[in-house]
Structure formats: structure tokens, C-alpha cells
Amino acid sequence: MNLLIRNILAVLPDGERVVDVCVSGERISAVDRVPEGFAADRTIDGSGRLLIPGLINAHCHAYMTVFRNCADDLTFNDWLFGRIAPMEDLLTGEDCYWSSKLACAEMLLTGTTAYYDMGMFMEEAAQAAVDTGIRAVLSRGLSGAPDGVDGPNPRLEQAVRLFENWKQYPTLSFMIAPHAPYSCTADYMKQAADTARRMGLGLSIHLSESASEMASIREQYGCTPIELADRCGLLTDRTVVAHCVYATDEDIALLKQRDTSVATNPISNMKLANGFAPVTKMLKAGVNVALGTDGSSSNNALNMFRDLACLTLIHKANEHDPLAVTAREAFLMATVNGARALCLDDLGVIREGAKADLVILDLDRPNMQPVNDPVASLCYSATGYETETVIVNGVPVVLNGKLSDTDMEEIYAHVRQTCERIGTVK
Ligand SMILES: [Zn+2]
């Protein structure tokens, strides 16, 4: 399909200006000029609108959307072990399909075109991503030890099978994801690292999220969670580490040395009262820092614009420095840095030859006027629901603010049924 977006203000690598953008197949074929003989199947009028690269959510748990607003105002351990884990045991694959579909819909409708997902029923999560048209980096969350009382741990095998079953889909890619050092044995983390290396896949893990994790890993292993992950072979240039709230200066140097990326999740970290990640220190050290929402039970929205705002605001306040994280840095973290963290080539930027994951925002809204600095408006003024058109891999999946081929009422009804069955509805 050939798309032509005419006369649109675009956020380009070298600044913002009004351009024409051509999309041919899955890639951007021209920026600034319409090649001779280009025949558009669909033309989008871009006047009064803003074109940005689709936002990339570098850390999420889509299946947890069903837990939105049912486990709030709790300590990290009470939240995870007291509330979330027992509810997870009640979920079926079908529950996770509808929950993930709701997550994908929310992300697309707020300008996210790609996301990283760590979950349980990942075959269903893959189906939800394909059905909504979003780009997804999928991983079966691994926990436990290589062998349990009932025999070998099946999760790594499920991760391998997920890759084999869905690898032909151009909008899906895969990572190997040991959940965390407090939920996996060191042997299991090593096995995960070996499997990723053998399969040529990237890795993702939660590290240094809470004070209790820091204390328990130090007591058990005599080191920080980041040092432990390195000993297990998990820190590579294709690894993205979620959180790093308690990363020490030595940890940050190690992350830089290994060229490992970090996904910071500012709202989740604040909500679970874990604190603020040392984002400015990591950026100064040259670590690739991307942005994530985390799951809906610790955020409680999968709307990257909220996280963009928090990312820029909290570090300014926390460090008494208005330049701590600028709007431009935050925007890069939500786009190109996310692409690099998730090993997504040619994404996160509007340029000729890049994959066509694009978002068009309506600027004809009171909160977006006047248009003085588009990037500042994305971080400080936008709500995400200015999203009008979303293109993923060259295919329009949101038009006029609505998802194509997706019945939202059907999704709400199924998710509601799950909530009633597991008893989360008040
Ligand atoms: Zn997480």
C-alpha cells in the first residue's frame, strides 16, 4: 500500500518542519518531497496536525490490564505477593487474550506503535497484538529454577515455542525474560542467558526495583541485583533492564560497559513508592535509557504521554534542576532509545528508509494551542488522546481516533467478565 501524508508538521531528527511524507509498503519512502510517479492508495491531509514517530513502550505486562485499579495503595511486596500473584493464578489464556487486547487498544489509541510485553499466556498475547495491528516484542516471563518438584520448568520451553510459532509475523519479535533475581534462581538466569545467546534473541529482566530486593539479593548473593545479573551472563548489548531505581554508581558503569539498555518506568516506581531511578546519572554515563509504562496494575494507564510528562517533571523536581531531563531527551527516550533497547531496527525516527510506524496528532485542541514548540507540547501539554491516525509497518490501524476492525465493546465485555469471575469488581 502507498500512503501519502501531505503538508504536515513533522518531528524530524533535525527539527520540526512542514513536509510531505510517502510510505511504500512497510517503509517511509520519501520525506519532504513526493517522488515522480508516486501513486498514493490513500492520501491523508496533514494540515493542523503533527506527525511523530510512533512511541515505543519499552516495558509492559499487557495481561495485567485486567488488574487495573484493583490493587492500589499497597507496599511493593503486599502488591506483588499479597494481591497480584494470587490473582494471576486465576487467569486463563482467554482472559489474557482480552486483557492484552485492551492493552494494545489503549496503547494504539494513545500513540504507541510498539511495546515490550512480559507475561504468562504469550500465545494469546501474540494473537492480541496481531489482531489489533500493534508491533510487539514478546517474552514469556520466566520464574523459578531449571527443575521443579514436577520435573523441568516448562517456561523456557514455552518461550522457545512462542518464537517458533510466531516468528513469521513481521510485526512481532521476541526476547528471553527471566522475571527478576528474587523470582529466579541464579542457575535459571544463566540458562535463560544461554538460551538467548543460542537463539540470537535479546533479553529483558527487572532489576533493582525495590529496597527489599536490594536487601534480599545482597543477603543471598553478597552483591547488587545488577552485579548478579552480570555474573549470570544477562547483561549484553541486546538486554533491556527494567527499573534500576536503586542502581549504584558502579552498577551504572557496569551497564555502560556492557552496552545494556535500561527501561525506566517513572509512574510505576512512584506508585509502588520505590522512588526515582537515577535517570540523569545513567544518561550522563552514556547508558541507553528508554521509557516504559509497566503494567496497568502499577501505573494505572498504558499511555506513554503520561509517562513522558512524569519523566520530564519528576527528575527536575527531585534534582532541583530544570535541565535534569529535557523534553527533547524524554522524546528520544520514548522513540529511538526504545527502538535500540528492544532491538527494533529502523524504528523510532522519521526518515527515508525507516519502517513506517507513524502517529498523527490533532493539534486543533485547546491544550495543543498555540503550536510554539511541538516537542515540548508532547511532553508538557498532550494527553495522548489527540491521536488521530496510527500507522504500523505501513498499515493504518487507527483512523479518525478509532481502531480499525476492533470492537471495543466486545473487549470491555470480556474483560468485565474476567473481573467478575476473579472477584476484582467492587
Ligand atoms: Zn514490569
CA of 124 relative to ligand 1 center, distance in Å: 19
pLDDT band at 76; cut points 50, 70, 90: confident
| Across 261-287, average pLDDT | 97
CA of 209 relative to ligand 1 center, distance in Å: 9
CA of 207 relative to ligand 1 center, distance in Å: 10
CA of 40 relative to ligand 1 center, distance in Å: 41
pLDDT above 70 coverage of the chain, percent: 100
State the pTM of this model: 0.97
CA of 136 relative to ligand 1 center, distance in Å: 15
pLDDT above 90 coverage of the chain, percent: 92
CA of 202 relative to ligand 1 center, distance in Å: 16
CA of 232 relative to ligand 1 center, distance in Å: 20
CA of 270 relative to ligand 1 center, distance in Å: 13
At 79 the pLDDT is 84
CA of 242 relative to ligand 1 center, distance in Å: 7
Amino acid type, 411:
I
CA of 365 relative to ligand 1 center, distance in Å: 33
CA of 108 relative to ligand 1 center, distance in Å: 20
pLDDT band at 244; cut points 50, 70, 90: very high
CA of 363 relative to ligand 1 center, distance in Å: 33
CA of 36 relative to ligand 1 center, distance in Å: 47
Give tens-digit pLDDT for 145-197: 998 778 889 999 999 999 999 999 999 999 999 999 999 999 999 999 999 99
At 423 the pLDDT is 87
CA of 194 relative to ligand 1 center, distance in Å: 22
CA of 348 relative to ligand 1 center, distance in Å: 22
CA of 134 relative to ligand 1 center, distance in Å: 19
Residue 125 has pLDDT above 80, yes or no: yes
CA of 125 relative to ligand 1 center, distance in Å: 16
Residue 426 has pLDDT above 80, yes or no: no
Give tens-digit pLDDT for 204-225: 999 999 999 999 999 999 999 9
**Could you tell me which residues come within 8 angstroms of residue 266 by beta carbon, excluding any fewer than 6 positions away?**
276, 277, 291, 307, 310, 311, 314
CA of 91 relative to ligand 1 center, distance in Å: 18
Residue 65 has pLDDT above 80, yes or no: yes
What structural domains does the chain harbor?
2-54+347-403 (2.30.40.10), 55-341 (3.20.20.140)
CA of 294 relative to ligand 1 center, distance in Å: 5
CA of 47 relative to ligand 1 center, distance in Å: 39
| Across 91-112, average pLDDT | 98
| Across 262-286, average pLDDT | 97
At 21 the pLDDT is 98
CA of 362 relative to ligand 1 center, distance in Å: 31
At 55 the pLDDT is 98
At 71 the pLDDT is 85
